[in-house]
Structures are given as structure tokens and as C-alpha cells.
Structure 1
């Protein structure tokens, strides 16, 4: 075994079916890596630890609590460090280093800086001995719907650049699966990433048109653009629109297009 997914029991409008905790490696042969322990839920964390046996390290894709709140508890139980881009999330001194090789029995991992959803977002390239190349994306790509740019920490320009990075990676390294932070495994990485980029470009066109028609605040744009939105995700939609307005303001006269369909935090 090189990859196993454990879903935390924290479903909701912003977390879909719950947070996916990813275990990488072969527990029968040595310590494994755990990506995104999820919430501080003892039952979930105990299930992960029991399956892992020994944990070499924990990696957190970004600072949101539905991904990292359980990291200190699991690290304490396992006696290991937590690696994260945000120093406030780490246990120990190690951060994530873009491109660094991390080896465990059964797989190699490589962190990849993919900011956009948040400024500290990382994805993790996983090359398993099973011959399948995978990409764990945190909230940069979801298994269902699309993600939110979490203004002011997230950034539309960075997100588009990170999508381009992932599109190139999928093509050049034959990535067969995306392991998202929420929702099912993505088995058409190239198609989903292309859709994410086009959809985000289309959404920015809609925001631009709403502004031209007189909308000024994120709330006004949301009312004009997201006409069938679930009220539970309206605050996230407004954050995403704020990020898009900031992007447009920084590119006065720019004729490109961008989009975001907020279905997640």
C-alpha cells in the first residue's frame, strides 16, 4: 500500500463530505507520512494512528483548521514533527521546502508551493511504488465543485499561476489522480484542472460585467452573479468576490478572464 485516505467526520457546506486525511507509505515496512490530519477529533486521529503504526512526519497543506487543528494532538501521540509553510502550524522547526524529496517505504513525496486559495497553500506530489503518480492538493482542487480564494490571504493571480503549474505537472509527470482535501479522488486531473481554469476565467468576466453595471461591494456583486447561491456559503462567496475585485483593480485595462465558484472554504 502506498496511499490510504481517511475521511474526518466534519461534513458541511464548506467541507463537503469531510476533510480527507491522506496516509502515504507502507506501514508494514516502516513509518509513513500523514497529510492533513484534519480537525482535532480524537476518534478520527486514533483511527489514522492505528492504521499508520509509526508516523515519520505530518504535512499540512495550509493553515485552515479543518486541515490542521488535529496536527498537534497526532504529533504528540506519534512523537513526530508537523511540517507546514506557516510557522504557526508547525511542530518542530521544519517547514516545507519546494521540491524537497521526502522518502518513506512505498513512496516518495515532493512538496510543491501552490499559493492561491491561501498564501501558504502547498500541494504534494506522490510517486508510489504501485506505479501511480498522484497529487495531493489540499483545497487548491476539490473532488466536487470548485474552491474559494480566501481574500485577503488568498490571491487570484497566484491561484491562476498555481493552476498553470499543476497543469504542466500533470502533463509532464503523468499524474493519474488528484487527492483533494475534500470530496472524492479526481481521476481526470488534466480535465478537471482545465475546467477549473476556464471556469475561474468565466467567473471573473461575470464579476467585471457586474461592476460595469454598477455593483461596487462584494455583497452587491454576489447578488448579481451568484443568483442561486446557498446562503450557507454566501460569506465565502463574498470573500472570493473580494479577491476577484482586488485582482481586477490591480490589472486595470486587462482583458483576460477569471472565475471562481465558491463551494468551499
Structure 2
């Protein structure tokens, strides 16, 4: 039986190497839930897991049973991707590699940009893509060319930039890096369904960000350079449901930091 997104508690094969297990934690920030990716080379039993998800015992058990897990990789620090790390390590004994040392387990290895991770018949290229968060990282599956994008690119909608350590300049640069990978690469996102062409969606994301940035600039012309975040949201995000405005405030704060670095 072929499963379609969303398919909770089901291992769904997406590419010859990548399968996904969708955690049942839907919400405003997680869309249908968090995607845990399981990467396995043809003919091999061991796998690599990307983002074990939150501290959901049933979800973690299902992923562990897909193993044995040779390595776990983390796309970024958010709890819905990392909250289950310690329990998952208890279940599998897997080392965990992450940019942020606080999420590493059984190894001191980080995720330097450009590194080729060769593990259990897989070749996974590290591609640092900060902006959503400072530590955001994507992974290119060499051979088939698909790209795990974490929350840098989602399966639907657009990405919220974290107002604590997100950076719009970094994010725009990261989108251009993804565009430069070329066409025809499948997007394997942290939330939402897979997408057929990374270059196309990254170009759409870049155009959307540049349009929003122009709207924020225009809002400051009308409201004044020191306008409050909420005032800018109400001026710019008229096309967005008001219940999402608190989320939009995060991205506006990051845009204001980009436009006026002295903004507090």
C-alpha cells in the first residue's frame, strides 16, 4: 500500500533512499507535524535518521524499530526536531551530530559546511543554510540529489524566521545557495509534503521574502522608522489571517533587524 502525506505512524517511502515518519504533533508552527527522515542505502539494514522529533514515546519507538540506526543528524535546534533526542539515543545507541554542541550525543563531531558524511553506504553532503535559526542545516543525498531542508524550506507555506537567532541576510543567502544546486532536486522538508523541484520553490521563497521586505520598507515610510513591530504587521500582513499575526511578528522583527541593525 502506498501512503500519501499526511500519514501518521506510517513509514512512507519518498525516494529510493529516503522514507519519512510523520509525527502526530500538528500545530500552527509544525503544520501537519514534524517529519522524521529515515535514509537507507539499497540493500542495507542500517539507516541514518534526520530529526527524531519531539519527546513522543510512540513516535520514537516506531523510528527505532525501523533501525538499526547508525547515525542521527539534526537540521536545527527547535524542540519539535530535537526534544526526543535523549530517549531516542537510549533506544538506539545512535550517535547524534548537530551544529549546536548541546544536541550532540556520543560524538563531538559537528556539521561543518561541505563535509561529506559517508555512513552505511550513504553519502550525505552537509550544506549550512542559516536564517530560520542560526544553526539551520540542510543535507544533500549524493547520488539521487534530493535535499533535506529542515525548516529552511517547508512543504507548504513559507518559513517563519526565529526572532531569537534568525537572520534575514543569512536566510536570503541560504536560499540562493539552494537555488544554485540546480533544478530537479526533490525537497524533503521538516514539515509538509515533499516537493519536486528545489530550485523552483527556493526561487519562489526568495521572491516572497524580497516582496515582504519591500512591503516592510514601505510601511516604515508610512509609519515612521521607529514603528512598533505590531504596527508593521498590521500594515503589511493584511492578506494573512489575524490569528497568525503573532507568528508574523517573529519574521517582522527579523526583517526590522535587517533594515535597522540598531533596532532593539
Task: Tell me the TM-score range normalised by the shorter chain.
Answer: 0.7 to 0.9
Task: Show structure 1 runs of 5+ residues with no match.
Answer: 252-265
Task: Show structure 2 runs of 5+ residues with no match.
Answer: 1-15
How many Å separate the matches in 1 of 2:89 and 2:17? 21
- 2:36 is matched with 21
1:184 aligns with 2:193: yes
- 1:141 is matched with 153
Selected match of 2:73 from 59, 63, 76: 59
SS of residue in 2 equivalent to 1:165: helix
The alignment's TM-score, normalised by the length of structure 2, stands at: 0.87
1:25–1:104 CA contact under 8 A, matched in 2: no
How many Å separate the matches in 2 of 1:150 and 1:120? 11
How many Å separate the matches in 2 of 1:23 and 1:240? 30
Matches of residues 28-177 of structure 1 in structure 2 within 5 Å?
A: 29-51=44-66, 53-92=67-106, 93-128=108-143, 132-169=144-181, 171=182, 175-177=184-186
After the TM superposition, which parts of structure 1 deviate over 4 Å for at least 4 consecutive aligned residues?
none
How many Å separate the matches in 1 of 2:117 and 2:180? 21
- 1:241 is matched with 252
How many Å separate the matches in 2 of 1:135 and 1:13? 24
How many Å separate the matches in 1 of 2:241 and 2:38? 33
The alignment's TM-score, normalised by the length of structure 1, stands at: 0.87
Which of structures 1 and 2 has the larger relative contact order (alpha carbons within 8 angstroms, sep 6+)? 1
* Shift, 1:30, TM fit: 3.6
Q: How many residues align?
A: 244
Deviations 1:151-203 (A, max 9, x none): 2300000000111111112x1xx552010100010102111111100110000
* Shift, 1:247, TM fit: 0.6
